[in-house]
Amino acid sequence: MRGGLRYIIALLVAGFSLVTYYCKRQTNPVTGEVQHVNMTTEQEIALGLQAAPQMAQQYGGLHPDQQAQASIDRIGAELVQASGAAQSPYKFNFHLLADENTVNAFALPGGQIFLTAGLLRRLGTEGQVAGVLAHEVGHVIGRHSAEQLAKTQLTQGLAGAAGIAAYDPERPGSSVANAAVAAAIAKVVSLRFGREDELESDRLAVKYTAEAGYDPRAMIQVMQILEQAGGGGRGPEFLSTHPNPGNRVGVLEREIAEQFPSGIPGGLKR
């Protein structure tokens, strides 16, 4: 393929990817944010329900402790009912996973939220549990999975365009360099979006915990617990799936101060 034609095709691929991404926009019914997503809330719910059994199996299935599960359900329901999440189209379900060793929590699109027993046993108060669950509710309300799917398609298109533009038929080894360029582009774009999602989930979690009667400062304690769980080495899985943009505790402290300029209301549960 001649250089000029190669570049034209690369530009067309990149342009199509960008136009497709930026033209698919929906207004979030809870946050009011205009987002780039290419699936409906009904599709999110169906995707989450379909993936939930497989995800649970990866962590040893559901935990047999019905009393602990009931507590998770109660705290989760309080968070949803007291916040804007109740006005969303999502049906939230909270699952305690049997894995005692993995420290993690995550949300699937549509309202399926998971917490491992390994993380739960490190949490000392209901407020800390509420902080973790509220953060995951924030991911669902923020439609972060749907956004990430759209962004993945965008990065794949841009990476493909970069590979086409960089390929040199007279230098077969260039295909390896092309793959590196494509991977670098995808990594940079995905990292940027991941940080934004985490910050939005933190902001929503601060709001949701307080609305449900829990002290949002418990979230700071959760971050300290997770740091200790890392032991200075490889951090817990929670921190690998939840990128930490700088000083997470500082971010939370600033967010709490902004949302409660007159101080935390009295009587909140920790």
Catalytic residues: 136
Chain mean position to CA 71: 23
Element (H, E) at 116: strand 112-116
Chain mean position to CA 56: 17
Q: Across the strands, what pairs with 26?
A: 35
Amino acid at 167: Y
Instruction: Please say whether the beta carbons of 178 and 162 come within 8 A.
Output: yes
Cα(119)–Cα(135) distance, integer angstroms: 14
Phi, psi of 31, rounded to the nearest 5 degrees: -85, -20
Q: Helices in the chain by DSSP H: which ranges?
A: 3-23, 41-58, 66-81, 117-120, 126-141, 144-166, 174-211, 218-230, 237-241, 248-259
Cα(146)–Cα(88) distance, integer angstroms: 15
User: Would you tell me the crossing angle of helices 218-230 and 126-141 to the nearest 10 degrees?
Assistant: 90
CA 217-243-15 angle, to 5 degrees, is 130
Instruction: Please say whether the beta carbons of 59 and 114 come within 8 A.
Output: yes
Amino acid at 61: G
